């Protein structure tokens, strides 16, 4: 049984005051939800305040990026140990925006995954094809390359994969449930060939224009185990409705 995981990726949004307000409003909305793992990924500057306000709640904390060294002369970087220090349970690694704007490659993603796992952080490892790659029929090739490159020689303890087709991010264009299932099934099969039966326990999240209106049909797909939500996670009400997708499903 894979416990669904729904994560909010706030990207570069929210001051510390806004973070505190959000959490104060959000926690009562998801009180008692214990059959879904709920994760918030604020920007680095809000992690400490988020940790303080989430303490003792059913909501976990994630960072949006990490560097692979433990400490040293790496101006502007944050280590896995520093994320543990502010009580992060997870870290998002390899988001397409980091690949697109900040030069992340399968190699740097691979180093980051190694360091995060070694520090005991859960990893939300993002992969996904661009529109151009999809239209050229290369979706599976791209997913396979990103998966094998990112996971080379890596343990997969605490690993979560997020399939985020780049063309669906922030565009309002969601993958159809069938497109999502097809990609997720491919990813699970690849994980099986790399790691064997443990692949059945790895959660694969879908990301890309997830909203309260489409989460239930996405979650109904066999290999969709959760969501990584950008825009629709910025309002407590909208994100809480996504977290409570089971209620929507029931009508």
> Which residues have a catalytic role annotated?
95, 164
Binding status of residue 212 toward ligand 13P by CB under 6 A: no
Rounded CA gap, 229 and 17, in Å? 21
Instruction: Establish if 209 lies at the interface with ligand 13P (CB under 6 A).
Output: yes
Going along 146-240, which residue ranges are E strands? 159-163, 203-207, 226-229
Least distance in angstroms from the C-beta of 71 to ligand 13P: 28
Kindly state whether residue 228 participates in binding ligand 13P, applying the rule CB under 6 A. Answer: yes
State which of residues 14, 91, 169, 219 lies at the interface with ligand 13P (CB under 6 A): 169
Nearer to ligand 13P, 108 or 233 (CB): 233
CA distance 168 to 183: 13
Half-sphere exposure at residue 97, Cβ-oriented, CA atoms within 13 angstroms: 13
Which contiguous run of DSSP H or E holds residue 232?
A: none
In sign, the C-alpha dihedral spanning 96, 101, 103, 108 is negative
Distance CA 188, CA 209 (A): 22
In the three-class reduction of DSSP (H, G, I as helix; E, B as strand; rest coil), residue 221 is classed as coil
Site membership for ligand 13P, residue 231 (CB under 6 A)? yes
**Closer residue to ligand 13P (CB): 85 or 237:** 237
Q: Which stretch, 23-31, 139-147, 177-185, 227-235, contacts ligand 13P (CB under 6 A)?
A: 227-235
Contact 66/86 with Cβ under 8 angstroms?
Answer: no
The residues, ordered by sequence, that sit 6+ positions from 130 with a Cβ below 8 Å of its Cβ are 142, 166, 167
Site string for ligand 13P, 76-105 (x = CB under 6 A): -------------------x----------
In the bound state with ligand 13P, the residue whose beta carbon lies nearer, of 72 and 177, is 177
Minimum distance, C-beta of residue 153 to ligand 13P, in the bound complex (Å): 26
Asked whether position 149 contacts ligand 13P by CB under 6 A, the answer is no
User: Which residues lie near ligand 13P (CB under 6 A)?
Assistant: 9, 95, 164, 169-170, 207-210, 228-232
């Amino acid at each position: 049984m894979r416990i669904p995981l729904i994560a909010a990726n706030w990207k570069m949004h929210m001051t510390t005051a806004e973070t505190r307000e959000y959490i104060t409003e959000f926690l009562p909305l998801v009180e008692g939800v214990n059959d879904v793992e709920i994760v918030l990924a604020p920007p680095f500057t809000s992690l400490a305040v988020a940790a303080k306000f989430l303490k003792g709640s059913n909501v976990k904390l994630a960072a949006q990026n990490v560097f692979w060294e433990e400490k040293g002369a790496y101006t502007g970087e944050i280590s896995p140990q520093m994320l543990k220090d502010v009580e992060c349970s997870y870290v998002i690694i390899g988001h397409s925006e980091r690949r697109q704007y900040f030069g992340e490659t399968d190699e740097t993603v691979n180093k980051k995954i190694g360091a995060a796992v070694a520090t005991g952080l859960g990893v939300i490892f993002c992969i996904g094809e661009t529109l151009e790659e999809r239209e050229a029929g290369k979706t599976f090739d791209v997913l396979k390359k990103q998966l094998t490159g990112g996971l080379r020689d890596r343990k997969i303890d605490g690993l979560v994969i997020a399939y985020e087709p780049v063309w669906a991010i922030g565009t309002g264009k969601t993958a159809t449930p069938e497109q999502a299932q097809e990609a997720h099934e491919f990813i699970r099969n690849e994980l099986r060939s790399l790691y064997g039966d443990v692949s059945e326990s790895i959660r694969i999240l879908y990301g890309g224009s997830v909203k309260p209106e489409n989460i239930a049909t996405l979650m109904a797909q066999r290999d969709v185990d959760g969501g990584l939500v950008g825009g629709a996670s910025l309002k407590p009400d909208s994100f809480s409705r996504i977290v409570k997708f089971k209620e929507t499903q029931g009508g």
